[in-house]
Amino acid sequence: MTGTVPVVELAGAGVVGPFPLVSYLDALAQFLRPSTLAGVFVRGLSKAALYVMIASGLTLVFGLMGVLNFAHGSLTMVGAYLGGLVMVLSVTAATGTALRFGLFFVAVLVTFGGLVALESAVEVSLIRPLYDRPPIYQILLTFGVTLVLDELVRIVTQFYGLQPISEWQEALSTKPELLTETFRLGSTTVSALSLFEILFGVVTVAAVWTFLTRTRYGLVIRAGSEDSEMTEALGIDVRRVFATVFALGTGIAGVAGALLMWDPVWGASVPLAADTLLPAFVVVIVGGLGTFRGTVVAALLVGMVDAVTTWWFVNAVEFSGLPEIFIFLILVVTLVVRPQGLFGVAEVGGH
Amino acid sequence: MSLLQVDDIHTYYGESHILEGVSLSVAAGEVIALIGRNGVGKTTTLRSVLQLTAPRSGSITYRGEELVGKRTHEVAELGVGWIPEERRVFSQLSVAENVRVATPKGGDVDAALELAYETFPALSERRDADAGALSGGQQQMLAIARGLVGDNDVLLIDEPSEGLAPQIVADVAEAVQRAAEEATILLVEQNLPLAMDLADRFYLLDNGQVVEDGAATRGVTDDDRIRRYLSA
């Protein structure tokens, strides 16, 4: 989750050891260079793009029906394997760059459709009968779905020898050569994959934003996310809207999974489920449960903090686990200072 | 024949027995006040009609059609609107969007907006503002406008004057009267003189039961028996 960041040699001393103040000042000077800041900014944007794709479905589903879907990360992981499967089956060593991109878009469509179908089946058969129960039932159920999905994928991947814990290398190798390269952008170099992820994130945000603000269905979703009981009392079948949002949100998370399949930092693996679920929850809670605008802003905030702390704890302090701690620190501060999140509203409609 | 008929309903929150056999009837065109102290079941009666808190027993019919067992959106689609306690406007939606979302699917949105702005010119001036940024009185107007544009034949209005300044209460009373020209109204109101001014008849609730009913007149507020129920 923390990403691989080029380690910068500081003032000839290598990575800074514990507590040498001068070296920290050197690191600060290095960090404040425009080229470093630009590089960190782009990496932050690419993380934010992935977080917003994974978290947007989660927040809308909670806002509408109060369902906290613990299976969301597992569905992203299934998306990574599904996208990888399409690529591995269709790409050969002779496949050119353009065709690989074309096949990736086919994989995105297959993943989106597959995840929509899978989530619709889960929603109709398992979640719908529990709508009127207290939230703990849905939490336990979706947590159970996570365990079942993770184990199913683990069994299948072990059976086919795909190494369920480490990244699926065969899927990673279907990435076009172009996306393994770095480009000069102003004073800094950025990876083509980061730009590709940012592009996907921007397109997703624009599409969801347009859907939510320019269509009647989107208007209903925004109203239902704020107060589902009041929306139902206006003659709108909120459960049907919810089923649609559940399916679409999962489809988008699946597409994010397909993107992650090509990202060497993540890759298709069973632990991807938990690795994506935790930051997604942080983004959703920090932004405010049920608000897409909050999710976008929180994804940017978490992505940037992740990128900045990753740089510092790779280049200035050798402790790569710390960036994750900072992400959860954002969560703790938000819950203490503004429990409803940046754009959340006070409790309405029963949740 | 009554438009809305409630017969012997028993409604619970968990194990708490809130409504213990409430019965009332509302004829087309009437304004009915539901009065009583806090916690006697007035809001629960409205929630029971809408099936937001479904009764465990008893019957509620609207135009002869049984509502118990239906889902809330189905009740609303039949023409039963709700203007809830504390307004519950969609605070992150603009005024215009609040009206649009209340317009039935396939309905004329422009006509709905025109009706809302004509009825409450103050809303027209703030049509693009987030509803959460409106004053309490303006939010109440928006809540009533939402009920008006929903093609509702019956409006269940809960505590419209709650938390509003006296001058604003007069505006809201006028708004309820305008709503009464369009729809039949079942009104829950703590402000007894206001309720009696607006209503044709009243039902007095105590401990989840109707204990008194009759024509709504200012004289009712001086009735010792009713004052006992309201001040206890």
How large a percentage of chain B has pLDDT more than 70? 99
Please provide the average confidence, as pLDDT, over all residues in chain A: 86
- pLDDT band, residue A152 (cuts 50/70/90): very high
CA distance A341 to B12: 33
Query: For A257-265, what is the mean pLDDT?
Result: 92
- pLDDT band, residue A20 (cuts 50/70/90): low
Quote the pLDDT of residue A131: 78
CB A264, CB A71: distance < 8 Å: no
Please provide the average confidence, as pLDDT, over all residues in chain B: 92
Quote the pLDDT of residue A346: 60
Residues of chain B found within 8 Å of residue A236, distances taken between Cβ atoms? 73, 76, 101
Higher pLDDT, A271 or A185: A271
Higher pLDDT, A347 or A112: A112
Tokens linked to B166: 């006296």
Tokens linked to A63: 């806002």
Asked whether residue A336 carries a pLDDT value surpassing 60, the answer given is: yes
> pLDDT digits over B107-146, tens only?
999 999 999 999 889 999 999 999 999 998 899 999 999 9
Query: For B25-51, what is the mean pLDDT?
Result: 95
- pLDDT band, residue A328 (cuts 50/70/90): confident
Asked whether residue B30 carries a pLDDT value surpassing 70, the answer given is: yes
Q: Please name each of the domains of chain A with its CATH number.
A: 24-337 (1.10.3470)
CB A222, CB A208: distance < 8 Å: no
**Chain A interface includes B170 (CB < 8 A):** no
**Chains A, B: CB pairs < 8 Å:** 67
Chain A nearest-CA residue for B150: A234
Q: How far is A278 from chain B (nearest CA, A)?
A: 27
Is the Cβ pair B92, A226 closer than 8 Å?
A: yes
Quote the pLDDT of residue A345: 67
How large a percentage of chain B has pLDDT more than 90? 72
Residues of chain A found within 8 Å of residue B72, distances taken between Cβ atoms? 229, 232-233
pTM tops 0.80, yes or no: yes
DSSP letter string, A33-62: SHHHHHHHHHHHHHHHHHHHHHHHHHHHHH
Quote the pLDDT of residue A1: 45
> pLDDT digits over A43-77, tens only?
999 999 999 999 988 888 887 777 888 999 999 99
Nearest to A293 by CA among A108, A119, A41, A63: A63
Nearest to A133 by CA among B14, B41, B70: B14
Asked whether residue A8 carries a pLDDT value surpassing 70, the answer given is: no
Beta bridge partners of A182: A191
Quote the pLDDT of residue A320: 62
> pLDDT digits over A289-325, tens only?
878 889 999 999 999 999 998 888 888 777 666 667 8
Tokens linked to B70: 């239906």
Residues A49, A53, A54, CA angle at the centre, nearest 5°?
120
Residues of chain A found within 8 Å of residue B150, distances taken between Cβ atoms? 234-235
Asked whether residue A12 carries a pLDDT value surpassing 70, the answer given is: no
Residues of chain A found within 8 Å of residue B102, distances taken between Cβ atoms? 234
Nearest to B132 by CA among A226, A230, A211, A337: A226
Q: Are strands B201-206 and B209-215 parallel, antiparallel or unpaired?
A: antiparallel
- pLDDT band, residue A11 (cuts 50/70/90): very low
Query: Which of B12, B50, B75, B88 to mutate: most A Cβ within 10 Å?
Result: B88
- 3-class SS letters over B141-172: HHHHHHHHCCCCCEEEEECCCCCCCHHHHHHH
- 3-class SS letters over B120-131: CHHHHHCCCCEH
- pLDDT band, residue A3 (cuts 50/70/90): very low
Chain A nearest-CA residue for B79: A235
Q: Which helix (H) or strand (E) holds A245?
A: helix A238-260
Higher pLDDT, A4 or A82: A82
Residues in chain B: 232
